Structure 1
Amino acid sequence: MNENGSGNKALDYVIREMVDTVTNSKDEIFQIGEDSRSEFEKLNKELLRIREQVTDLIDDGDHLEQKVRSSKKRLSEVSKQFQQYSEHEIRKVYEQTHSLQMDLSMTREKEKQLRLRRQEIELRLRNLDDTIQRAEALAGKISIVLNYLTEDFKQVTNALESAQEKQEFGLQIIEAQEEERRRLSREIHDGPAQMLANVMLRSDLVERTFNERGIKEALDEMKNVRKLVRSALYEVRRIIYDLRPMALDDLGLVPTLKKYLATTEEYNDIKISFTSIGKERRLESKYEVALFRLIQEAVQNAVKHAEPSKIHVAIEMKPENANILIKDDGKGFDPSIKKEKSFGLMGMRERVDMVHGELKIDSSKGQGTIVMIQIPITS
């Protein structure tokens, strides 16, 4: 009796923790949407001001061009008939023309800079609008998950047959959560956090460069800062994509795989080819997620550890099963030797077991690696 009561309390605690985590995630996503919306409105106001300024500068520039042309014409006349004018008059016409040309050059440069800023804001506004739409969609999905956890998931307690099963189930969930948190913490620390720290340092360098060397070199340095920001943004999107690619629900397995492999190929500078055999069709969510994660894990293992120049991924869809092949020309390894903390292969084996599939790995040092997976598909 005590064991059962203890098991129920442990599972109830896990469920409450999961509900709190999902609720906090929903609040954070809502805040991201609100922050993005606030920035969108702020940038939109700035865009309107810049458009007005650009229009004014264009008018000023056109007016100055007319003055420059008139002044140049006057200077030409004075130069041809310089004997009729005093040195003071000639110098005055020349200085007036030079001053007008400088004013025109500065006006056009301001116009150019404002146009560049306008383009940056318009791009940022498009990205923010996309973020707002995604945040709203994701918040809606999390609301559904939250309802499921708070209502239907309570039936899990009754479905477990013993206190021991309940305890093991709860511990597995906690362990999986902690491992995922550790992984995310490492990825964010090694990726976006380092990149953003570098952005802060480089932004200070931009200011010093502007003060010491002028606007041209400062603009060149700004281009480097933008590259760093783009890299950080890519890493954030990759981490979000690893958590759950939204395209999997919307487009299905094969289109999502193509997109993921193309992104991985571009980012890691490794040739990755993909072949899909058989009639493409939608599967139950658990099979699509399992197949995608298995391919993702195998490809990431190859990228991180095998140092390959080429990776080939093939998936064959049959009426009753799906076959997967991932082949690389990397340095290979000895599958019979178990490495400490080899979580990649361990996770793949556990995921294959969950869907009653088969996993085979053929590899040897210097000969590359072939991963073969067969998953039975039941309707």
Structure 2
Amino acid sequence: MKSGNKALDYIIKDMVSTVSNSKDEIFQIGEDSRVEFEKLDEELESIKEQVGNLIEDGDELERKVRSSRIRLSQVSKQFRQYSEEDIRKVYEQTHELQMDLSMTREKEKQLRERRDEIEIRLRNLDATIERAEALSGKISVVLNYLTEDFKNVTQTLETAKEKQEFGLQIIEAQEEERRRLSREIHDGPAQSLANVMLRSDLVERTFNERGIEEALLEMRNVRKLVRSALYDVRRIIYDLRPMALDDLGLVPTLKKYLATVEEYNQLHIHFASLGEERRLESKYEVAIFRLIQEAVQNAVKHSEASSIDVKFELRKEMTKVVIKDDGKGFDPTVKKEKSFGLMGMRERVDMVNGELHIQSSPGKGTIVTIHMPLNE
């Protein structure tokens, strides 16, 4: 019976993996088509403008050619009244205008043909994007069916055991977090404020013994200490709960957070936000922010990455997040003791009925993909 369950688990996992990869490939096809559509649309606008200019230039050249031909006809009829040089100049001018007109009309014809090609290509790309989105939606239904309706008993028991262990680890993590905050406050703001008290006494003594210039210099040092303490306090508060998430929304907060991580750790982080930028329910904004925060911190601390790509796509009824790094990677099938970061991410994703996929192998970086339905 156990071997039968394992075989069924393997088949379902293989199906889920295949369908999920197909969904990602279809998503990429849609994205590539959308990028090409935008480029061709820009080129089409440019070509339309060029065609308009060439039409105006051609009409003007036609008027000049007609005028030059009339002039040439007059000269030909009354050639005895003109010198050979005059006749030659009129002939050459007419010929040059005719050549310019011919070249202009040929350019106009080529641009019109290119315009027609682009318009056909744009219609095809638009249809491809629509089909990709429709297929992505259908595959999501299949994935939900596979992942929800085919959950086996063995995995359920495993999950229950993992959740029990995770609950105990959460308690341990909370105590560790309290100790960390205590150390940070003691070593950071508390130490800085103690130094401010000592330096403030020194300001008065310096003023009395060395004069106002030295006292002002000491005041500047005190101001630096206060600024440093204020920075530490704000950083600790931000780690607990970024206030910008409530005030500004998810995307601005992510940009600020990733910029801070990039600067502090001296690595490159590229952030891309796709789709309509709008506010979500607080539970979704907090979940997405914490998931990205955890994935980025894992890439910085454990993967030792030098470059991280974060892509956030917001659609009408779902959101997709991809965090990719170039770090040393790991084997997702090997479970490490006290490694509850990924388990916590899975737990948070489950709370909002989302999906978490992790692709990684030693030496090849890590890709974390999160799909989250928005039941607003």
For the aligned pair, the TM-score class normalised by the smaller chain equals 0.3 to 0.5
Larger Rg belongs to: 2
TM-score of the aligned structures, taking structure 2 as reference length? 0.47
